[in-house]
């Protein structure tokens, strides 16, 4: 559309370039959808001309009001730091930046608490320490020997694999574990499902969600509880689980736009997508220290350094562990592929998780230890079949759910320790 005078602007037009005030201060990012309140504020700021593209195919939200230029500059700096100072390289990432800047500005304006850092103390590798040779099978075996599950876990796993298992049978198995039942009922009554009437029994939850889906949720909740022994004096597990929940919520929202029948699988995949990194921290902390330091110095995602040092990444490790634990292959593969969804399998669920992982980092929703998140490639974004404009509505929907689901998993304990998940 080109450059228009301030008097020609209409609500719904989209900025085709970053908007800067006459005094040189940053105001709004490229891709922002103008509202009537925006336009009024621009006149006050003395902006004479604005570069815009065609009107947005989505309605502009009135809460996209114009923040002060100092707040917007700080918000943009925050998002740029998250991605190592690298500007967006495609349309999807431009939209991620735009939405993330708006969310950061909102957070700054509302004085929201800063997200906790992942490492609770300086995490540096021992100088000159030789790197041990690592085999993935050794780490998988060590973790499988380390973790023990309650009997109900194995019964649910068997039921998932049996074609004769019924919804009633699954509900009876789950009902025998009171803590597990309570968590699953909270999930069934959460914003994920939005049911009009309260679900007050596992039988009703099974009828609503389905026996297989409820079983997958049950396995996921049980697996979370197995990670209550990561040293909390080293890493902030509150930050880790916040990130995991955000990826789960964002992933299930993205996947629901294309296939609502897989939302439980993607949700549990999101909760467990980074457990391989916890296993690395638990069993080879000195190697992880080396990897994290290298990722920070080179400003690359930690997953790239993992592949260089180990020959595999945390997704592959986590997927193999879930398979050994008896999780359905479709779920273990989802975790295994979440950093490589565009491979031979061309997995849509893994692509949804990959996009959700980057979005969660951009929105500062916790961390799993990577200094910088990977950018969303065109190939991965195209696998979701969404337009870049959908990122905005996904984030708005997720904003209402992340805190609720995180509180559910955390159990209302605010100390930030892993005991909150036991």
> Band of the pLDDT at 407, cuts 50, 70, 90?
confident
Is residue 385 pLDDT above 80, yes or no? yes
CA dihedral defined by 170, 328, 141, 234, rounded to 10 degrees? -80
Closest listed residue to residue 159, CA positions, set 99, 235, 215, 204: 215
- The correct CATH number of 136-148+226-421 out of 3.40.50.10090, 3.40.1190.20, 3.40.50.300, 1.10.3210.10 is 1.10.3210.10
Mean pLDDT, rounded, for 345-357: 92
Residue 119, strand partner residues: 235
Give tens-digit pLDDT for 76-95. 999 999 999 999 999 999 99
Give pLDDT tens digits for 78-137.
Answer: 999 999 999 999 999 999 999 999 999 989 988 776 666 665 555 555 555 566 667 899
DSSP readout, 328-357? -HHHHHHHHTTT-TTSTT--HHHHHHHHHH
Q: Which is more confidently placed, 376 or 59?
A: 376
Write down the domain spans for the chain. Answer: 2-109, 136-148+226-421
Ramachandran area for residue 74 (φ above 0: left; ψ -120 to 50: alpha; else beta): alpha
Architecture of domain 2-109: Alpha-Beta Complex (3.90)
């Amino acid at each position: 559309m080109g450059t228009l005078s301030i008097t020609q602007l209409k609500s719904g037009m989209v900025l085709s370039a970053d908007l800067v005030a006459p005094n040189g201060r940053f105001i709004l990012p490229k891709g922002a959808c103008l509202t009537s309140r925006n336009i009024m504020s621009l006149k006050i700021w003395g902006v004479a001309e604005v570069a815009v593209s065609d009107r947005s195919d989505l309605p502009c939200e009135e809460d996209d009001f114009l923040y002060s230029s100092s707040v917007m500059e700080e918000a943009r700096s925050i998002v740029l730091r998250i991605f190592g100072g690298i500007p967006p390289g495609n349309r999807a990432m431009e939209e991620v930046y735009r939405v993330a800047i708006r969310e950061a500005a909102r957070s700054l304006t509302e004085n929201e608490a800063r997200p906790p850092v992942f490492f609770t103390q300086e995490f540096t590798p021992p100088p000159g320490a030789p790197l041990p040779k690592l085999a993935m099978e050794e780490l998988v075996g060590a973790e499988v020997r380390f973790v023990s599950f309650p009997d109900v876990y194995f019964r649910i796993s068997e039921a998932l694999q049996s074609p004769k298992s019924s919804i009633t049978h699954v509900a009876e198995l789950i009902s025998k574990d009171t803590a597990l039942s309570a968590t699953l009922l909270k999930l069934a009554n959460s914003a994920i499902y939005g049911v009009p009437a309260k679900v007050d029994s596992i039988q009703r939850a099974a009828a609503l969600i389905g026996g297989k889906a409820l079983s997958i949720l049950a396995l996921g909740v049980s697996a979370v509880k197995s990670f209550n022994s990561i040293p909390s004096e080293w890493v902030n597990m509150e930050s880790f689980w916040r990130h995991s929940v955000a990826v789960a919520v964002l992933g299930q929202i993205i996947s629901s736009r294309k296939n609502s029948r897989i939302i439980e699988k993607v949700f549990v995949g999101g909760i467990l997508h980074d457990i391989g990194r916890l296993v690395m921290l638990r069993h080879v902390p000195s190697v992880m220290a080396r990897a994290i330091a290298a990722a920070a110095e080179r400003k690359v995602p930690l997953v790239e350094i993992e592949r260089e040092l180990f020959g595999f990444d945390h997704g592959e490790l986590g997927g193999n562990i879930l398979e050994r634990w008896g999780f359905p292959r479709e779920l273990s593969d989802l975790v295994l592929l979440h950093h490589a969804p565009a491979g031979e399998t061309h997995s849509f669920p893994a692509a949804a998780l990959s996009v959700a992982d980057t979005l969660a980092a951009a929105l500062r929703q916790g961390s799993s230890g990577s200094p910088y998140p990977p950018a969303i490639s065109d190939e991965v974004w195209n696998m979701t079949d969404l337009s870049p404009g959908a990122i905005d509505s996904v984030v708005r929907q997720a904003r209402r759910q992340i805190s609720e689901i995180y509180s559910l998993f955390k159990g209302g304990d605010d100390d930030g320790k892993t005991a909150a998940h036991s």
